[in-house]
Amino acid sequence: ATPTALMVGTGRGAQLGILIKGPEVLESTRRIDTIVLDKTGTVTTGEMSLRDVVAATGEDADEVLRLAASLEDGSEHPIARAVVAGAKERGVGVARVEDFTSVDGLGVQGVVDGHAVVVGRPQLLRDWSITVGDELESALTRARASGATPVVVGWDGTARGVLVVGDTVKTTSRQAIAQLRDLGLTPWLLTGDNPEAARHVAGQVGIDADNVIADVMPADKVDVVRRLQDEGRVVAMVGDGVNDAAALATADLGMAMGTGTDVAIEASDLTLVRGDLRVAPDAIRLARRTLSTIK
Ligand code: ADP
Ligand code: MG
């Protein structure tokens, strides 16, 4: 490929809202046959909202929400923002937190009003020897079946309630995925969220249930990309989060949502400025067209 033609492609990309790290990136898109899409913030808006607060028998829903929101006030996660906003809407104030820690891909923990509070996946509560009983377990199952993302709230050794948080699919995602298929790419959905919520989103945007990989810890996303590459696929990845950075760097073509974190953008070959997934097929089309004019 002549450098001039590639430079022209790069300039055209900027007009389309695609920031390309270097002209050589266009060459690497030629053989892409697989595209891995992060769910939260890439296929969905990532703007979650609090749909429901389920208190265990004998617990007060507002108190469950208050202690959880106090902790989540210290987290940047979309779930955390939804919980804090939901508390505010319901007129529930937040308290001061000591010894706050955020556990990547699992949840948050800290001391609120003298209680050792944990909010997150059941796995995180188990690490604190907190058992999630049948009552809350069925609240989790119900929430997941509706495509939502439930998290458990516990303190002082007992699970106290479930917060049900939900996200919405971007209006343009379905069309973007249809265009990617037309370009001959197989779409996969990758997420740390639960499999039911993931399949729910996959169904809405036209990704096969067999191509959904859920419950993936942040550090393991890169392994999913490697495994697909080991199977002989040439893999593009689209993501937005800190937890997507390694996978974006390892993919044959890494694309970051412009609305995403700086870490994801730095790890990627190109940035989709507007956060609209339809720019991903635009980018692949542009690369193919640029390369064919120089053949
Ligand atoms: P994704 O891949 O969808 O961006 P993450 O890896 O960030 O998801 O998170 C995976 C799961 O960890 C969430 O679905 C949630 O159950 C739990 N989690 C992560 N951060 C938090 C938090 N701040 N509060 C509660 N739960 C959290
Ligand atoms: Mg994400």
Successive 10-residue mean pLDDT values, the chain, 295 residues: 69 86 79 95 93 98 98 94 97 97 95 97 95 96 92 97 95 97 97 94 97 95 98 96 94 93 94 92 88 63
> Ligand 2 being an ion, which residues bring their Cβ within 5 A of it?
38, 40-41, 240-241
- What is the distance of C-alpha 255 from the center of its chain? 14
User: 3-45+169-293 with 49-166: one CATH topology?
Assistant: no
Rounded distance from Cα 41 to ligand 1 centre (Å): 12
Residue with tokens 């050794």: 157
Q: What are the Cα distances from residue 148, in Å, to 165, 198, 254?
A: 6, 9, 28
**9-38 confidence digits (pLDDT tens):** 778 888 889 998 887 787 778 789 999 999
14's enclosing H/E stretch is helix 3-16
Note the pLDDT of residue 287.
Answer: 82
Ligand 1 near 119 CB (within 6 A): yes
ipTM above 0.90, yes or no: yes
**235-290 confidence digits (pLDDT tens):** 999 999 888 999 999 999 999 999 888 999 999 999 999 889 999 999 999 888 87
Q: How far apart are CA 101 and CA 120, in angstroms?
A: 12
Note the pLDDT of residue 22.
Answer: 80
Sheet with 253-257, side-by-side order of all strands: 18-20, 270-272, 253-257, 235-239, 34-38, 186-190, 212-213
Ligand 1 near 149 CB (within 6 A): yes
- pTM of the predicted protein model: 0.83
- CATH T-level fold of 49-166: Calcium-transporting ATPase, cytoplasmic domain N (3.40.1110)
Class of the domain covering 3-45+169-293: alpha beta
- 71, 72, 106: which to mutate for ligand 1, most atoms within 8 A of CB? 106
Sheet with 115-120, side-by-side order of all strands: 49-55, 158-166, 149-155, 115-120, 107-112, 97-103
Nearest to 193 by CA among 231, 174, 173, 166: 166
Q: How far apart are CA 244 and CA 259, in angstroms?
A: 14
Note the pLDDT of residue 12.
Answer: 82
Note the pLDDT of residue 290.
Answer: 79
The size of the chain, in residues, is: 295
- Strand duo 235-239 + 34-38: pairing: parallel
Parse the chain into domains and list their residue ranges. 3-45+169-293, 49-166
